[in-house]
Structure formats: structure tokens, C-alpha cells
Amino acid sequence: MTFVNTIFTSRLLSFRRPQNISPTADHVTREQLVTSRLGRFAQIPASEIFALEPTWSPLGLTEEAAAEILKQHGQNIPVAERPLAALSTLWTALWNPFNVLLTVLACVNIATQDVATFVVMMVMVVASTGLRYWQEMKSMVQALKLVRSIVTRVRVVRRVNGISQELEVDQKLIVPGDVIAVASGDVFPGDCVLISSEALAIAQASLTGELMPIDKTIRLVAASESDAFHLLNNDNVCLSGTSASAGNGRAIVISTGKDTYMAGIAEELNRKRPENAIQVGIRKVSYVLMGFMAVMAPIVFIVQGAVSHDWKGAIMFAIAIAVGITPEMLPMIVTSNLALSAVRIARKNVIVKRFDAIQNLGAVKVLCSDKTGTLTVDLVSVSKSVTDSGEDSGLPIKLAYINSLLQTGTRSPIDRAIVDYMHANEKGSVAGDGHQDSWQKHGEVPFDSTRRLLSILVSRLSTDGEGLFITKGAVEEVLERCTSVYRQQQRSFSASSSDFKLERTAYTTLTEDDRRAILDTSKRLNEEGLRLVAVACKCATVKQFMTINTADEEDLVFIGFVSFLDPLKPDAADAIKELSKLNVQVRILTGDAPAVAGKVARDLGLLDTRNVILKSKKADEEAVGAISEADLIVTGPQLAELSKDQDAFAEAVERAVIFAKLSPYQKLEVVKALRAGDGGRAVAFLGDGVNDALAIRGADVGISVDSGTEIAKEAADVILLEKSLGVVALGVVQGRITLLNTVKYIKMACSSNFGNVFSVLVASAWLPYQPMLPLQLLVQNLLYDFSQGSIPWDNVDPEYLETPRTWSALSIIRFMICLGPFSSPFDIVVFCINWFYYGIRTANSPLVPLAQTNWFLEGSLTQLFIIQFLRTGKTPFIQSRASLPVVLVTFGMACVSMAIPYIPKVSSALQMRPPHPEFYAYLVGIIAAYACVVHMVKVLYQMTFKEWL
């Protein structure tokens, strides 16, 4: 090997891995692996690519080489179809702490011949398991949706019998090393690097959110070692699933099948979904209840058995206590709450795919949203037409309209926007002045990505020999070909003006100062988030059979700019304000440019320091005030650098409002970081593209829109059928109502059960008989649960809807411990009445059923009445009223409780007897005193802990 060859080989090897990726990193993400593989070929000149792989050739692979590579890499299928793991999914759905608890208790009940309780508990388990199983099975097929979006036939260059030929083959047979030919409309079958390009533009909005096609060209010189390689922000890489919107070219396929960037997204979607905030909360609460039951049931068994010496009866009583502690109606309450909320928001054309997503919406503290198609309408439209100094003028749009209307090449989104804008504003003379029939085209120089210009020569039908040469294109390229600038008169040129004559007296020589001023105007407009097209023209003589070429694009007169934007959805700003009132922070995560995203955020009022969340708890108003607007914007490359320092990364994520130029994986990482911040918070993500699918699935609540890609809608928990962001705010409110009503149940049930356990412990240590039979305790618990079945229809005080809510095991434990024991003194009062007033002091006393009935009534009525006090932090009946269903159901259950001792067959089965009339006087006093005590405790509790529900 010669010295020159040695240098050349070492030069190539230095590009095997992009500079910003460490080869010794312990954990390399899928995105980094794809970046490393493509960077090896993308950072060197196109002419040197084939030197890296000896079997590759610009003339194409041989059939034998292609077959061998196909054996090695497999078919070009992004997601391999594999059998659905139905049994493992079923096991995952079944293995839930609450399901296990109910199943164990159900088995104990059937062993003791309590069939009714067994059936109720198993129905709850089956319903909960079935719903979760259906959800998991559906999510497993999400990734397969990507396969449908890939092209099936591809033009590939292959060597057949030593002759290079262009063939059309099934995309499944494309292999790394294949040279493919692409033209407008073709989809790239794998991750590719360009080796030739003729005005090639690529549409990659599904991956980056960039509305406009991106110009792509080949690399002519090697990248320097300091140049970082960005997978989604480069000139010569075309990823699988993106398409050519204009031009043509050839590319070398680097990765196919499961090794592509798109397949990495599909693989990530196929993984087990992380627990959301509500699931974590429910799991913690379930563990608390299980632990509480595991401690209290044995204590009751030992105390009751030691006092009564009836160990068999003590076992039954301990089982009844275990069942009583468990809020077995929780699945029904949760399901009813979710179903009711789903019906309510379904009326607003919102599909809820996962029921628990409604509760998660109520817990959301941060809403992350993609920009294109969610906050904006996903359509290029004309913003304004201005002069070289930025003043409004109709002349640039008029000339651009003639250019776009008469050009015969592929009409770009820019051309369509100009034509649509002018047609929408046609009035009187516009149709006659700018209509195609009023102008005749004599020549055209088509657009290409090198010149970035499009020029036409036109003349009016009514004129002879006088023509107009109109050029539009990129600002720098147009300005470079101009020698004059058109200074408009005091009267602004109107787009509808029939007088279309350019005054030569308005021409002034274009000086260097003028050029700098024009570029400054361009920069200022770009910083406002506007995309610009420059317009220039010159008078020309039209001759028969004449032609024009690029040499004619000189000595032009600079006219001005036409600016474009993707306008906001009409209700976006109002929806953002409504979310702000609900204390939901909004963040924009997009693959688009920072200036464009900043324009959207500015118009929505998001670039406000009040939206800042600092990671440090020491943050104060002074620290927030020191943050500038620039500090609220962070880009994907900046995050990539910060990822080396986790604290710095977390700080940037907490501070930023706009995340621009993000890859799909970076969107997911930002969502994960936001979820982990502040000790764990609920995060929602709103998006509609393939690039959003990972973040949608990684969020606590994934939201998509009806116009989104199939994969985004499959990954989402909620789909908006109407493009109205206002329903997101409505969903947040409904989610909080659902969550609060569920928390009402769990807190009331747990505190009541906890108080009953204290009462039972006192009774077990004091009374020689069971204070209540196991069957009586279960009936009482069932009546209480039925009364709480109306909770989903209850009203919620408005102030509780102002902040995000989630399940908190600590809050439930605190509520249970602080409120539960206050029912026990009143239970003890009943024990004392039975002991001292009625003289029931032995297990053989014939009045034992009376004592049990007295406690049954007192426990049932106090539990039912106290619902009115526990459901709100305010004064019941005066400051806050329960809904009519709650009032009717609780009153009905109270009547049933009082009627049971008087129904012969029922009272006989439950071994009860009617209470003495004077007991009702005691009962009224007990209930009134209990209500007063609970209300005082409630006031002190809220003063101490600053919360109630």
C-alpha cells in the first residue's frame, strides 16, 4: 500500500462514527446507532462512498451479491410479523395488586360457601382484566401500521450479465448497497445517502414536522472532524418512508428492514407501555390497602379468638373484616366514572380509546404539543407582501402570482399558496389583470435546487413586443442577480390595480448598503417565523420563437418579498388560555426551525416567564425575571450536547417552552424528563405525525387528531375528531371531575372501614359476643358501597378543578388515619347503651341480636349521612350541595337499612330483630353529634394539611 493509499484509508475510517457519539458508551440508543451507521457514508464525498464497501458499485450490485446480502440482512420489512403473545398479555393484565387481593378474598368466600360475595368479586376481576387485556392486545399491533406506508415497487440499478440496468423490483428485495433511482412521488425504501441529485426536494414532514420540502444534494467535500452529523438536519441523507416531492436523483441504500430509522420507531412502539401517573397511584394505594388488611385481619382474629374462644367464628369474623377493609366497589366506581366522562366528551366528537386516559387528563400538569397540524392548520399560506424595507405592498405578490400561475413545472406548496391567496382575494379587475388569459408566456427557466430560482417571460395579450421577465426564489440568489431596486411611490401598489406599469423613475441603483438593508429585512422577517420568497423583474423585449435561459437572470430589479406561514388554528389561542387557567403548562415540541416555532409560541402567548418551571426549588420571581425569551428555546442539537450531563439536561427541559429541531427520539426523551421532574408529574402529548408516535405513547396521555397519521392515532389514548383544541381543556376538566369523584369514594370507604376496624378491636376486647355477625357486616358494607355507586354523578366544587389532581397514597392514608377513628367513639356509645341500658353482657343473652341490630343501624346511618360531609371541604347543604342522584341513592339506602330489621325473612336470615323505639332517640343524637365532630375535624384538617380531597 502506498503512502497516499494509507492516508486515504485512514481518512475514510475516521468517518465510521460521527464525532459526537462515543464508541465506548455503555448505553447507545437506537437513534445513535442509526446515526453512526449513516454518518459513516454521509460525511464523505459521494465519489468516495463505494470505496468503503468492496462489493458496492455505482453501476449497481450484481444479482449474486444482492442475493447474498439479502440472506445476511433479511427482507426489507420494517417490522417483522410475529405471533401475538396472547397468553403473556393476559397474564400481565391479570397480575394487578387489586385483582390479586379480590381473587384471594373471593376464593376464601367460596370456601366458606358465601357464593354471592364470590360472584361480585370475580365479576369485578373479570371486567377489569378483560378491559386491560383488550387494550394491551390492540397496542401490540400499532407498529405494524408502518408497513402499510412503505412503497411496494422500487426502481433499482443492478448489474445483469455484467450490464448495468435499471430494474423495478419489490421493495422487500432491496438490500444495503443497492443504487436506487428516485423521481417526484417516489418513496425511499430504506435509509439512503444521495450519490446524484437534480433539483431533488424531499418531503419529510412526517419525521420532522417541516411543512416545506427540503432541498437535498450530494456531498462534494468531506466533513471536518468538528462538524457534528445530525440525522434529520443534513443535505444528503434520505430516510426510509420520506418521499421525493420534486426533481430526481440516485441514492445508495445504507440500511433496510429492521435497521432503518423508521423501524426503530416501530420497535419502540412495540415495547411495553410505561405506567402512567394514575396507574402508579392506584398501585400504591392497592399496596397500602393490602398491607393494612394483612396487619389488621390477624389482629382481629387473635383478639376475637382469645376473648370468645370460638376460633372458627374468629376466622369468619377476621375474613369479614378483611372484606370490609377492601373497597371492593372501587373497580365499579372507577369504571362508572370513566364511562360517564367518556360519554360526556364523546358529545364533543372526542374518541377515548383508553378509559383511564380520562383520569390521566385530570392529572396532567404539562401538555406537550407538536406544532404542525395540531397548533397550526398544516397549510402554507401567504402572510404578507412587502417591499425591500418591509413595508406592505401588493406588487411583489402580484408578480409572484403571474410567475406561479404560468409556470409549467411541478407546482410547489409555495406556488399553490400564492395562487390560492390571489384567487381568494379576486375582486373586479384582479381577475382581468392577473388571470392566465390576460398574460401570455413566452419562455420559462424551471426551478432547480442549485439556482433556487424560477423565471418566466410574459407579455400582455394587448401589447406587442413589450414583455416582463419575472423571477422569484431564495432571497440570497435573487438579490445576487439584481442591480437595481424598485422604490415605490407614496401610493402603495394594489394587487387589484389594473395599472400594472412599472415606473422606470422608481428604479435606483442597488448599492452595498441597500443589499445589507435588504438582507437585514429578510433576517428580521425570518426571526418572526416567516418563510420568504424574493421577487424581482425587468422589462424585456418579446420576439417570436425566442427562448430564455439562466443567462437572462441578470440585471434584475429587486421588487420585494412575499412571506408565508402555517397559520394557527382558530381556537388554538383560546384553548391555550383555558389550559393556563387550569394550571396546565404548555410546551411546543417540533422538528421545525426555532424561529418558526417561536412565532407560533409568541402568537399563542407562551413565551412568558410565567410558563417557566425551574428545577431548583430556590427559584423565585427574581430568578424567573432574569430569564430571556432566548432562554425559553432549546434545539435538538443543544439537547444532544446536554445529554452528557443529566442535571444540565433536566434543567434545560424544565426551563424551556419551545423544543425545536427535535428528532422523534428526542421528543420521547423530553417527555420522559418532564414526567420525572418535580418528583413525578403527569404529562400529555398532542401530535399527529409519525415523528410524534413515540412521544404520544411515552406520555401519560397521548392525544392525536383525526387528520393525523395512522400510526399516531393508533398510539394515542384520545383522538380529536374535530380540530378543536378546546376539547382538550374540556377533557382536563372532565378528567378532574372523574378523578375527584373516585378519590371521594376511596377516601370515604377507607376512613369508614378504618374506623370500623377500631370499633371491632374495642368490641373484640370488651364484649363477650360478636358485635356484628360476618353476614351483617358484609350487608352493611354492601349497602354503603351501593350508596357510593352514585358518586360518579356527584357535583364537584369549582375550586377543586383549578389544579391538576392524581392519586396520592399519602393523602389517602392521612385522610384515613385522621378521619377514621372519630367514628369509633360513637360506636362505643352504642356498645355502652347495649351493655348498660339493655343489659346485654353475655354471649348467651337472647338480646344479642338486638345489640347487633343497634350497631348495624348506627353504623349504616352514620356512614350514609356522613357522605354529605365528606364529599366536600365546605359546609354541606349550605355552601355545597350533592347532586340529586347522590341524595336520592343515599336516602334510599338509609331507608333500606332501617327497613331490614322489620322484614321477617330478611331479618331472620340476618339474625336481626327490630330495635326498641327509644333507641331512635339515641340514634338521632349520635348522628347529629358525629356530624358536628366530623365538620370540626374537617376544618382543622384543611387548616393543617391545606387539602381535603
Catalytic residue IDs: 370
Query: Cα–Cα distance between 555 and 494 in angstroms, integer?
Result: 25
CA dihedral 165, 168, 174, 176 (to 10 degrees): 30
Cell of 545: 420563437
Question: Grid cell 417552552 — which residue?
Answer: 657
Do 488 and 508 form a contact (C-beta atoms < 8 A)?
no
Output phi, psi for 588, to 5 deg: -105, 125
Task: Give the DSSP letter of residue 187.
Answer: B
Helix (H, G, I), strand (E, B) or coil at 454: strand
Do 573 and 504 form a contact (C-beta atoms < 8 A)?
no
Do 307 and 765 form a contact (C-beta atoms < 8 A)?
yes
Do 114 and 170 form a contact (C-beta atoms < 8 A)?
no
Question: Grid cell 395599472 — which residue?
Answer: 499
Residues 6+ apart with CB under 8 A from 247: 183, 184, 197, 198, 199, 200, 201, 448, 449
- HEC string of 289-346 equals HHHHHHHHHHHHHHHHHHHHCCHHHHHHHHHHHHHHHCCCCHHHHHHHHHHHHHHHHH
C-alpha closest to that of 233 among 476, 474, 590, 528: 590
Residues pairing with 192 in the sheet: 238, 253
The DSSP bridge pattern shows strands 439-445 and 381-386 to be unpaired
Q: Which residues of 622-658 are buried (b: 16+ CB within 10 A; e: fewer)?
A: eeeeeeeeeebbbbbbbbbebbeeeeebbbbbbbbbb
Question: Grid cell 374540556 — which residue?
Answer: 730
C-alpha closest to that of 662 among 284, 464, 369: 369
Residues pairing with 439 in the sheet: 460
Do 428 and 495 form a contact (C-beta atoms < 8 A)?
no
Angle at 667 between CA 677 and CA 76, to 5 degrees: 140
CA atoms within 13 A on the CB side of 489: 9
